[in-house]
Structure 1
Amino acid sequence: MNSRRKTSMGDVAKAAGVSYATVERVLNGRGGVAREKESRVLEWARKLKIDRSLDEVSARWLRIAILMQKPTSPYYGSLKQGFELAQKSFEAYRVMCQLTFFDNLEPQTIAATLNRTSQKADGVIIVAHEHPVVVDAVSKVVLKIPVVTLASDLPGTGRLAYVGIDNRSAGRIAGELMGRFLGADGGQVLVIAGLRNFLGHEERDGAFRSVLRRRFPACEVVATVESRENAESTERLTRDAFRKYSGLRGIYNISVGDEGIAHALRALGRVQSTILIGHELTEISRSLLIEGVMDAVLDQSPFVEAVRSVEVILRHYNRGAPSGLPLQTPLSIYLQENLPPTA
C-alpha cells in the first residue's frame, strides 16, 4: 500500500475480507451487517487509520444482557448503579445494558435465565456461582456471543474475560489482618460465606485458612457456614456459632449480612471481644467501623467493576477507546482511622 495516499474503504474491505459494500454500510451506519463482520471492519479501519472519526460511526445497537442477583444487598445495589452509569457513559457507542435479576440462586434457574436472555443479546455479563449446570450453560452461550464473568470467575467455560478482584489475595489479606488483630493468644475463628460454590468465596476462604494455618497457628478456623447470600441469616449463624464454640474470637464474613452479625454481637455482649472482618464499604459497614463493631473492611469498587465489564464487551466489538482500567480491580483496606469522606 502506498503510504502517501489516504486509506480507502477498498483497503479496509481487502484487509477485513469483506466487500466494499459491507465496509460502506458499517462506516456510514446503514446497518444490516452481521456483528462479526461489523467488528472486523471497525478493527481494520482502526488499524489502517482510515481518515474518519470511528467513535462517531453510527453502528447498530449492541445489547448487553447483565445477569445477577436482585440488588437487595449493598454490593449488588452498587453494581446496579454502576451499570446504570455505564449505560450513560457509553451511550455514544450505541450500547444498551439490560439488567435481569435471578429469581433465586438455584443452578437450573440461573441456566434458564441465561439461556432466555442470551437469545436476543450481543454479549453477556454474569455474576454466578460455579455449578456444573451453570458452567454447561455458559459454555454453550460463549459459542455464539462473548461472556464476561464478574466478581466470581467461571474458568473453563471459554468466557471472554473475568473482571473483579484477586479473591485469593483478598483472603490472604483478611487472614493476615485476623491473625494480627487476635495476637499471640489466637482463638477460634468462624468464616461466613455466601455460597461456597461461588469460586470467589471458595478462593477467599481457602486463602484465609492457609495464612492462619501457616503464620498464625494459635488461630483455629472452626467452621465455614453459608448464608446463601441472605443477609438475615447471618445473625442466626453467628448466634449458633457462639453456642457451639466457647473460644470464638473472630469472624470473617466473606459475603453479605454484616448488620446481622452486628446484631448478634451486641445482643451477646461480644462486640469488644470479637474481631469482625468483612467485605464492601457500604453505609452499613462504614457505620459499624465507626462504632467499633467491625475492625476491617476489604472493598472492591463495584462501580469500577461494572463499567469495566461493559467496556470489555465494547472492545470485543471494536467500539470505544480503551480506558486503561485493569481487568483485575484494585482492593482497598479500610479501618476506622482511614475511612474516606462521604460524598
Structure 2
Amino acid sequence: MTARRKPTMEDVAQAAGVSYATVERVLNGRGGVSRAKEASVLEAARALKIDRALHEVSVRWLRIAIVTQDPATASPYYAALQQGFELAQKSFETYRVLCSVTFFEDLEAHSLARVIERAAQKADAMIVVAYEHPLVVDAVSRVAKKMPVVTVASDLPDSGRLAYVGLDNRCAGRMAGELMGRFVGREGGPIIVIAGLRTYLGHEERDGAFRSVLRRRFPACEVVATVESREDARSTERLTRDAFAKYPGLRGIYNISVGDEGVARALKALKREHETVLIGHELTPVSRALLIEGVMDAVLDQSPFVEAVRAVEVILGHYNRGTPSGLPLQTPISIYMQENLPAQF
C-alpha cells in the first residue's frame, strides 16, 4: 500500500481557483493578494489540512473601522465597549488586526452618515453602533456592499450587514416590564419610559416589549409617555421633574439609556426616591450605588466588553483568520438588584 500523498500548494491553488503564485504569496505572508482571494486560499488550505500553521498566516493588516458614540459624552456602555475593542486589538494581534475608532460628531443623521462613509474609506471591515434612519441605513448599506459590516447593541437589519452582536432588546424590554409590574403591584399607576433615541432600534424594541408585557399582564400599570434624553445624561433630571409635574401620581420609571443619576437627583429632590420604582440598564459605579441606596430597584446588564471582542471575532471569521470561539452573537442579560450585587465592581 502506498502512503497517502500530502496536499501541496498546487492542490490548494486548484481548490481555491487561483494560481500557484497566489497561494505561495498567501501561505508565506508576502502580501499583494486581494481579500477575497486570501480568504479562498486559507479556506482551501484548511479544508485540505495542509501541513502549515495557518492560524498564523496573515497577508497584511486587517483594518477594522469602528463607528460609535464618544464615551466622554454618552453612556458608560460606550466606555466599556471601547475597552473591549482595545482588548480585541491586543488579543488578535497575531492575526494583524488594526481597530480604528471614529466617534460621532453629533447625533444628526446627515452627520452620522458622513462619519460612516469617511471611516470606511481606509477600512477592510466596519463595526457600527448606530440608530435607524434612512440616511444612516443607506450609508451602511453602501459600505456593506464593499466590506463586511457588524452592528453592535442596536441592529440595522435592512442594511446588508454581516451580523448583529448584542442582546435581544425585546427580551430585555419584556424582562423590565415583568419587573416593573411586580414591583409596582396590583394597584398599578402611571409609568413613563425614558429612551435615549427611539430611532435606535434597540431602544424602540425595549420600549415596545416593555409596554406589551404591562398591557398583557399588568393592565393596572399604564405607560403614559415615552420621552427622549437624546443620549444626554444631563437631561434626565429635567425630564423626570417634567413628568411628575404632568403626572403627580407617577409610580414607575423605566430608563432605557443614560442618565440614572439625573433621574435619581429629581426623585430625591421631590422626596419620591422610595415611592417610585426605577429600572435601568448597565451596571456602572453610579447604578450600583443607587441600587445600594434603594433609589434604583433593578438594573439589566449586558457585557459590552464581550460584545466588542465578539464583533471583531466575527470579522476575523469572515476573512478566515483565527479559530472561532463558538460564543453566541446574542449577549446574555443579567438582572442586578440590591441583594445580588457583585462584591466588587
Same fold (TM over 0.5): yes
**2:52 counterpart residue number:** 52
Matched, 1:280 2:287: no
- What is residue 144 of structure 1 aligned with on the other side? 146
Counterpart Cα distance in 2 of 1:266 and 1:247: 16
| 1:58 shift after superposition | 3.7
> 1 CA distance for matches of 2:15 and 2:177?
53
The aligned residue for residue 340 of structure 1 is 342
Q: Measure how far apart 1:200 and its partner are.
A: 0.3
Change (3 A) 1:3 1:326: farther
Structure 2 match to 1:43:
43
Q: CA deviation at 1:3?
A: 8.4
Deviations 1:211-244 (A, max 9, x none): 0000000000000000000000000000000000
- Residues 79-107 of structure 1 deviation map (CA, whole Å, 9 limit, x = unaligned): 11111011111111100000110010111
Residue 63 of structure 2 corresponds to 63
Amino acid at match of 2:5: R
Superposed CA RMSD in Å reads 1.0
Aligned position for 1:250: 252
The letter of the residue matching 2:119 is T
Secondary structure of the residue that 1:224 maps to in structure 2?
A: strand
Out of 234, 237, 246, the residue aligned to residue 235 of structure 1 is 237
Aligned counterpart, 2:95: 93
SS in 1 for 2:123: coil
- Are 1:21 and 2:30 counterparts? no
Aligned match of 2:132 in 124, 130, 133?
130
| Aligned partner of residue 164 in structure 1, secondary structure | strand
Matched, 1:75 2:77: yes
- 1:262 matched to 2:264? The reply is yes
Structure 2: distance between partners of 1:303 and 1:286: 18
The SS at the match of 2:110 is: helix
In structure 2, C-alpha distance between the alignment counterparts of 1:217 and 1:124, rounded to whole Å: 43
Matches within 5 A, 1:193-204: 193-204=195-206
1:110 to 109, 112, 121: 112
Number of the residue aligned with 1:327: 329
Q: Secondary structure at the match of 1:217?
A: coil
Report the AA paired with residue 53 of structure 2. S
Deviation (angstroms), 1:59: 2.1
Q: Which amino acid aligns with 1:43?
A: E
Runs in 1 of length 4+ with deviation above 3 angstroms? none
Local SS of the residue matching 1:18 = coil
Structure 2 residue aligned with 1:6: 6
In 2, the alpha carbon distance for the partners of 1:255 and 1:83 equals 21
Matched residue type, 1:235: E
Q: Distance in 2 between matches of 1:222 and 1:289?
A: 25
Indicate the residue corresponding to 1:167 in structure 2. 169
In the alignment, which residue of structure 1 is the partner of 2:34?
Answer: 34
- Residues 106-161 of structure 1 show CA distances to partners (whole Å, capped at 9, x for unaligned) of 11111101111101100000000000000111111111001000000001111000
Q: CA deviation at 1:339?
A: 0.8
Identify which of 222, 225, 230 aligns with 2:224: 222
Tell me, in whole angstroms, the C-alpha distance in 2 between the residues paired with 1:297 and 1:58.
42
Percentage of pairs with the same residue: 75
The alpha-carbon deviation at position 341 of structure 1 amounts to 2.3
Give the SS at the match of 1:76.
Answer: helix
SS at match of 1:221: strand
SS across alignment from 1:318: coil
- Summarize the Cα distance change of 1:3–1:255 in structure 2 as closer, same or farther, 3 Å threshold: farther
Q: Name the CA distance, whole Å, in 1 between partners of 2:11 and 2:112.
A: 45
Distance in 2 (CA, whole Å) between partners of 1:271 and 1:240 is 16
Contact 2:58 2:321 in 1 (8 A): no
Unaligned runs of 5+ in 2: none
- Secondary structure (helix, strand or coil) at the match of 1:71 reads coil
Find the aligned partners of 1:110 and 1:45 in 2 and give their Cα distance: 40
Counterpart Cα distance in 2 of 1:50 and 1:91: 23
**Aligned pair 1:318/2:326, yes or no?**
no
CA distance in 1, matches of 2:91, 2:344: 23
Question: Which residue identity lines up with residue 277 of structure 1 in the other structure?
Answer: I
- Match of 1:248, SS? coil
CA contact (8 A) 2:33 2:59 kept: no
Partner Cα distance (2:100, 2:215) in 1: 44
Cα offset, 1:13, TM superposition = 0.7
